[in-house]
Amino acid sequence: MIPRHAPQSPQHTKQQKVSSHVVVIAIDGPSGSGKSSVSKAVAARLGLAYLDTGAMYRAATLWCVGRGTDLADEAAVAHAVRVMPLVSGLDPDAPTVHLDGRDVSEAIRTTEVSTAVSQVATNLEVRAELRRRQRRTIEAEAAADGFSGGRGIVAEGRDITTVVAPDADVRVLLTASEEARLRRRSLEVHGAADESAVEATRDQVLRRDRDDATVSQFEVAADGVVTVDSSDLDFDQTVDAVLAVVTQVTA
């Protein structure tokens, strides 16, 4: 990354100062590891933009379903995604997703989308298209005209540390035990973590990870990627652990 001094703006005065350079932070991990919530908090603390790449795959799924595109028809899905009018809002305090001008931030989180998304995310032409868009967004945030005013971005997903931004300043693999991930997702979706609630979450977490792992490597850290295991950490401790990695790597 090209060193660049952060612009002084009032909105950044209460944020933690880690580096005066543009910072690109890449975070990958399996479902329920805490990627989205932790990345948002880290971006907010550092005054960086936030890109949820999983939300882009979810939006692509919703877009195809809404157009009646057969998700098994790879060429049709790839075509639909190439023309998809998607806008990702990068504010970590209020990230949004708009499709053709419509706010679909909630619609992309339904069980229907969660169940179908891996079929779209394992389409290699879709991945190529979305990776192109993700790289463009990351580059824009390293330039002065992006949301962060040139401070940088936290981008999270499954292949950010390895494929989308392998040259990011900071690369973290956020992991957690299967048990912790199932419990968290179960609490989030069903408001409980008893046996039946965990069972109902299994497909959304474990089957999806298995499918997604056929096209991305997010189970073991690649060379140079720092692993943060959140199994025994609460949310705030996990955010602090990631911030400590950022401080260490960018010092």
Ligand X SMILES: Nc1ncnc2c1ncn2[C@@H]1O[C@H](COP(=O)(O)OP(=O)(O)O)[C@@H](O)[C@H]1O
Ligand Y SMILES: Nc1ccn([C@H]2C[C@H](O)[C@@H](COP(=O)(O)OP(=O)(O)O)O2)c(=O)n1
Q: Is 220 exposed, middle or buried (0-12, 13-18, 19+ CB in 10 A)?
A: exposed
The piece of 14-22, 51-59, 95-103, 195-203 that touches ligand Y (CB under 6 A) is 51-59
DSSP 164-185: I-TT-SEEEEEE--HHHHHHHH
User: Smallest gap, in angstroms, from Cβ of residue 3 to ligand Y?
Assistant: 27
User: Smallest gap, in angstroms, from Cβ of residue 70 to ligand X?
Assistant: 27
Greatest CA separation found in the chain? 52
Helix (H, G, I), strand (E, B) or coil at 152: strand
The piece of 81-89, 90-98, 114-122, 223-231 that touches ligand Y (CB under 6 A) is 114-122
Q: Which of 19, 39, 201, 216 binds ligand Y (CB under 6 A)?
A: 216
- Where helices occur in 122-175 by DSSP H, the ranges are 124-141
Q: Quick check: 157 binds ligand Y (CB under 6 A)?
A: yes
Q: Quick check: 161 binds ligand Y (CB under 6 A)?
A: no
Q: Which of 40, 158, 171, 183 binds ligand Y (CB under 6 A)?
A: 158
> Which CB sits closer to ligand Y, 6 or 155?
155
Q: Quick check: 50 binds ligand Y (CB under 6 A)?
A: no
CA distances from 233 to 10, 131, 238, 244 (A): 33, 31, 6, 14
Distance in angstroms (rounded) separating the CA atoms of residues 112 and 119: 12
> Which CB sits closer to ligand X, 24 or 38?
38
Map the footprint of ligand X across residues 179-198, applying CB under 6 A: 184-185, 188
Q: Quick check: 235 binds ligand X (CB under 6 A)?
A: yes
Distance in angstroms (rounded) separating the CA atoms of residues 248 and 86: 35
Q: Which residues of the chain form contacts with ligand Y (CB under 6 A)?
A: 31, 36, 53-54, 57-58, 117-118, 121, 157-160, 208, 212, 216
